[in-house]
Amino acid sequence: MILFCRSKIYKDREGCMDIVKVYEENNGLLRGHFLLSSGMHSDTYLQSEQVLQYPEIATGVISQLIPKLKHFDFTTVVSPAIGGIRFGYELSRLLSKRSIFTERVDGKMTFRRGFTLSPKEKIVIAEDVVTTGRSTKECIAAIEENGGEVVAIVSIIDRSEESPNFSQPYMSLVRVLVKSYEASNCPICTTLGTAAIKPGSR
């Protein structure tokens, strides 16, 4: 039963996991010519759901964040839907915290499904990949509007090109440099001559 040990084979002698290798080998990190939801073109495409579809690997990856959070006092993990949900759920399971999520309603990030916060409830935000930090900031706004207090932000991958400038401490497992270009000025279009593809939309 190979799956049973899958997360262990990515660990070195010190027990550290090569997150980039895990993503690459599970189709979570593709190299080529991609169309991002922003309309930009990019040489790298990240899909955490490809990695998180294997619970054993998800646990292995997400458990690497536990030491980074040990000095933070919080009761709840909040994730922006959809991408953050499985990440946030597994993180909170490992830490015995509550797990809830925000989602967009008519474009505005909000709590639905009866999720409520206690006054000053201490929260860690979990988002699988941080790119510009926009959805994380929208999630922070939703939490603060509901009386909660964000104490930290965690992601598996930080692929921001410019610092997202969060007011709270931000930690990720790995930083992946992704080059993205305006569609009208994309050197990959020129070099490859093929159209940019969107793997996640299939």
Task: Give the nearer residue to Zn ion in terms of CB position, either 46 or 78.
Answer: 46
* Residue 36 sits in the site that holds Zn ion (CB under 5 A): no
Q: Residue 154's beta-bridge partner residues?
A: 126, 171
Residue at shortest CB range from Zn ion: 186
Q: How far is the CB of 39 from Zn ion (least distance, A)?
A: 11
HSE (CB half, 13 Å, CA atoms) of 144? 10
* Residue 189 sits in the site that holds Zn ion (CB under 5 A): yes
Q: Are 75 and 121 in contact (CB under 8 A)?
A: yes
Dist. CA 193–CA 7, nearest whole Å: 38
* Residue 40 sits in the site that holds Zn ion (CB under 5 A): no
Residue 189 gets the label, from left (phi > 0), alpha (psi -120 to 50) or beta, of alpha
Kindly tell me which residue out of 40, 171, 188, 197 binds Zn ion, with binding defined by CB under 5 A. Answer: 188
Q: How far is the CB of 38 from Zn ion (least distance, A)?
A: 13
* Residue 186 sits in the site that holds Zn ion (CB under 5 A): yes
Task: Give the nearer residue to Zn ion in terms of CB position, either 94 or 188.
Answer: 188
Kindly tell me which residue out of 19, 41, 99, 126 binds Zn ion, with binding defined by CB under 5 A. Answer: 41
Q: How far is the CB of 33 from Zn ion (least distance, A)?
A: 6
Dist. CA 187–CA 202, nearest whole Å: 25
Dist. CA 55–CA 40, nearest whole Å: 32
Q: Is the dihedral of CA 103, 108, 113, 119 positive or negative?
A: positive
* Residue 125 sits in the site that holds Zn ion (CB under 5 A): no
Binding site for Zn ion (CB under 5 A): 41, 186, 188-189, 196
